Structure 1
Amino acid sequence: MKRVVVTGMGMINALGLDKESSFKEICAGKTGVDRITLFDVEDFPVQIAAEVKNFDPLSVIEDGKEVKKMDRFIQLGLKAAAEAMGDAKFGEFDADEFGVSSAAGIGGLPNIEKNSNVCVARGPRKISPFFIPSSLVNMLGGMVSIAHGLKGPNLSSVTACAASTHAICEAAKCIMIGESKKMLVVGAESAICAVGVGGFAAMKALSDRNDDPATASRPFDKGRDGFVMGEGAAALVLEEYEDAKARGARIYAEIIGFGESGDAYHITSPTLDGPTRAMKKALAMAENPKIDYINAHGTSTSVNDRNETNALKEVFGDKTPPVSSTKGQTGHCLGAAGAIEAVVSIMAMQDGIMPPTINQIEKDEECDLDYVPNVARKADLNIVMSNSFGFGGTNGSVIFKKLD
């Protein structure tokens, strides 16, 4: 099997328009959660989210007419992809050997909402001809492949909040078995719209601390009352190790293990078994190394945080490494969360720092691990794990190792 390494990264979220600025703010314990501005929330029970501010799609899309042909999640994905490709510093490459593995949990929900309203109010003839292609999840990969001329496998994962972790796994598999030599992984999401926020609020999944948005997302804290929606994107360039080495690429990390599993239990409630098996599979593939840090799924919901804590204990016992969730800073970016948190995990390893779990106010007896509370911690990190779990009982874990 071919070895797979990461040679380029990009990221955009509520804390920054690039990986460096957003990672700095994440480690500083800042949050991007605030009152929603993307639509009128006056009548909504939940009025807060982590929006990307000051993003101009024309910064990555030269033709203004093209902007209308793609939903916001695609625009954010193109921004992250452009940063990752620039970061990888390619000269020429074989386009046939360079593929895309894209991901989103929901896709163009704002566009679906908009055109549904148009259809009801003004009739079907007024629906935009760009509605369908601008909303499809796999059009993220399509637009990215067009933008960078990538003609290898063009794959798409739509596995809820585990989607872009699965996209990393799928891309790694392609390289490992020799189907391609390079893959660009892109996870993006932008579902902060009336029907998106209203739908999650109807499930009682969201925090409704409208009067205190900065502390609304509090993973593993006793007072947690739901997640906060976020939006954003991240991208990773994966390459076959020997190819990357031959071209003198900067190698951020090697993917040494990943695991995927299904709960086969419930549409929204998790099991202990599913996440546990995903982590054990990743560790077995990596030949059971010592994990120095785990970026948790850590959504700030009562059930997930307790279940993930128990799963970590099941896997690691009393040797569970420090764990943190960065969703207090970025919000829960749904299908983009796995890619964003993979980039965060790799940057943490590179910089020797564990990002904090912010808003640790009151300890929960059922969540009793070391969550790196409130303040980032310097540490020598050589191997890190990132977890993602999604509705429908879908789980993914990936392990990265720093190369000498």
Structure 2
Amino acid sequence: MMQDSQKRKASHPYGEELSEGSLKQSIHITALSSISALGNSQEEVWQSYQSGKHFLSKTQIGKQSVWAAPLPRAIKEEIGILCRSDAKYKNLDDSVLYAIHVARTTVKNARWGHDSNFGINIGSSRGATSLFEKFHQEFLETESTSTLASPTTTLGNISSWVAHDLGSKGPEISHSVTCSTSLHALLNAIAWLQSGMTERFLVGGSEAPLTPFTIAQMQALKIYADSNVRLSAVEASFNDAYPCRALDLKKKQNTMVLGEAAAMACLEKNPKGDSLAEIVGIGYATEPLQHNVSISTDAQCFQKSMKMALNGLDVAEVDAIVMHAPGTVKGDSSEFNAIKKVFGEKHPALTTNKWKTGHTFGASGMLSIEMAILMLQHQEFIFTPFFEQSHPKEIKHVMVNAVGFGGNAVSILLKAPSSK
């Protein structure tokens, strides 16, 4: 009978034997940037994480006021400048504009020149939400629609427009794996890099989900934070203080809140300059689904993806885990149960950012990568107000989790570049 370690081995085109979560070559994140409710610079984002407050607000979306995490006005104004810079950009959805804006900053930070040879893989869970709803409403009223209805709502618009804007010469890929989209983009880029077909890749996700129909979909699933629920005075005060209680394992109701964001990273093999973090393990798995949207009580998909990402590393070496933790009762608890199955009761320090940023769907995984990198850089654990635990004194390895509808889990293990 084959040993477990032998079962994990897979034949590689280059004739080498690699475990599923191992990397053939050193892959580094050399630049990362984002826009979200936290801000649009690494300094601003770090300061937002230092604050004990959330960045959610009551927002008018369609005919109702709901908890949401829209982009700050200053960022929206910068997006407006982008629209005015080229007439073609005026017809693009916010999800595409956010991606173009962040891609420019990320590539600049990596010192990749315009017209360079690098791949692009940027995805979105919902895609062109605003334009889809606008064109569909137009169709309902007139039984016809705009000439641009199809080309401007194609999911491939994101990577294609970013490539056009940056003048890149590599492959352009867009996809949707719902909430794990940006980490699947990272996985895909690693495959390209390790194949030798390219040396650099821009990856990430972009999401503009604050539209009436998108909110209605989440409410229909009964997972959205209810701003009209009747609560006692104490409960109401706590609800306003923390409308999304991600990683609160004692909550009795779902508290997911949506947020706008785009986040991207530059990946390179053996970079010549500095790197922000090294990717030392990757994991992925799909849940054997019993329902269209749910995962098992102990999240088998996360158990498999985390074990794969460990790639032989002792569980005690992982200092922190940035959880997916969307703020739902079952979502948070199932991931926590999976962590205990893999790491035991003495698990790494656990955190999440969704109580601050809301759930940004396809961009959320890359925002979690950003959070992990900031902890590695500053050697400071970013807390969550709902989960009491001891904080690591030193942070060398951080695991990042994401999962989407359909149980498509991804786990990424990062380490500080100087860590051995």
1:31-180 equivalences under 5 Å are 31-41=54-64, 47-54=66-73, 55-56=76-77, 57-61=79-83, 63-91=85-113, 94-95=116-117, 98-124=118-144, 127-180=145-198
Amino acid at match of 2:415: K
The reply on whether 1:252 has 2:280 as its aligned counterpart is no
- Note the C-alpha offset of 1:61: 4.7
The normalised TM-score by structure 1 is 0.88
1:225 corresponds to 2:254? yes
* Compared CA separation, residues 289 and 89, structure 1 to 2 (3 A): farther
Matching of residue 19 in structure 1 with residue 19 in structure 2: no
1:392 aligns with 2:406: yes
Per-residue deviation, residues 220-265 of structure 1 (Å, max 9, x unmatched): 2212523111110101000111xx22xxx22101111111111121
Contact 2:53 2:356 (8 Å CA) reproduced: yes
Aligned to 2:396: 382
Structure-1 separation of matches of 2:417 and 2:316: 14
Considering only aligned residues, what root-mean-square deviation do their CA atoms show, in Å?
Answer: 2.1
Task: Report the alpha carbon displacement of residue 339 of structure 1 after superposing the two structures with TM.
Answer: 1.0
TM-score under structure 2 length normalisation: 0.85
Give, in whole Å, the separation in 1 of the partners of 2:168 and 2:313.
29
| Deviation by residue 1:134-170 (Cα, 9 ceiling, x = unmatched) | 2222211111111112221222231111111111111
Distance change (3 Å), C-alpha of 1:59 and 1:378: farther
2:265 pairs with one of 223, 236, 245: 236
**Aligned residues of 1:15 and 1:330 also touching (Cα < 8 A):** yes
Alignment of 1:216-365 (within 5 A): 216-221=243-248, 222-223=250-251, 224-241=253-270, 244-245=271-272, 249-265=273-289, 266-271=291-296, 272-284=299-311, 290-358=317-385, 360=386
Offset of residue 185 of structure 1 = 0.6
- DSSP-derived class of the 1:68 partner: helix
2:27 aligned with 1:4: yes
Give the structure 1 partner of residue 210 of structure 2: 192
Which SS does the other structure have where 1:76 is aligned? helix
- Which blocks of at least 5 consecutive residues in structure 2 are unaligned? 1-23, 229-235
CA distance in 2, matches of 1:278, 1:174: 20
Counterpart of 2:16 in structure 1 is: none
- Offset, 1:53: 2.2
CA offset at residue 19 of structure 1?
A: 3.1
Is contact 1:12–1:19 with CA below 8 Å preserved after alignment? Answer: no
Larger deviation, residues 107-116 vs 325-334: 107-116
Aligned-pair distance for 1:91?
Answer: 4.5
C-alpha displacement at 1:38, in angstroms? 4.7
Distance 2:360 2:412 in 1: 18
CA pair 2-323 structure 1, distance change in 2 beyond 3 A: same
Q: Partners of 2:142 and 2:342 in 1: how far apart? A: 56
Cα distance in structure 1, aligned partners of 2:313 and 2:292: 30
SS in 2 for 1:134: coil
Are the structure 2 counterparts of residues 314 and 158 from structure 1 closer, same or farther at C-alpha, using a change threshold of 3 Å?
A: same
Would the aligned equivalents of 2:224 and 2:256 in 1 still touch at CA under 8 Å?
A: yes
Q: How far apart are the structure 1 equivalents of 2:375 and 2:175? A: 26
- Partner residue of 1:366? none
SS at match of 1:353: coil
CA drift of 1:2 comes to 2.5
CA deviation digits over 1:271-326, x for unaligned, max 9?
22111001111112768671111100011101011101110001101331101011
Larger Rg: 2
> What displacement does 1:378 show?
7.4
Structure 1: which 5+ runs fail to align? Answer: 364-368
**Separation of aligned partners in 2, 1:207 and 1:191:** 15
Amino acid in the other structure paired with 1:309: F
Distance 1:214 1:83 in 2: 33
The alignment of Structure 1 onto Structure 2 pairs a total of residues equal to 378
- Is the 8 Å Cα contact of residues 320 and 397 (structure 2) preserved in structure 1? yes
Q: Deviations over 1:58-86 (max 9, x none)?
A: 44455352333211111111222122112
- Is the 8 Å Cα contact of residues 35 and 213 (structure 1) preserved in structure 2? no
Q: Classify 1:283/1:59 alpha carbon distance in 2 versus 1 (closer, same or farther; 3 Å).
A: farther
- Residues 60 and 344 (structure 1), Cα distance of their counterparts in 2 relative to 1, 3 Å cut: farther
* SS in structure 1 at match of 2:326: coil
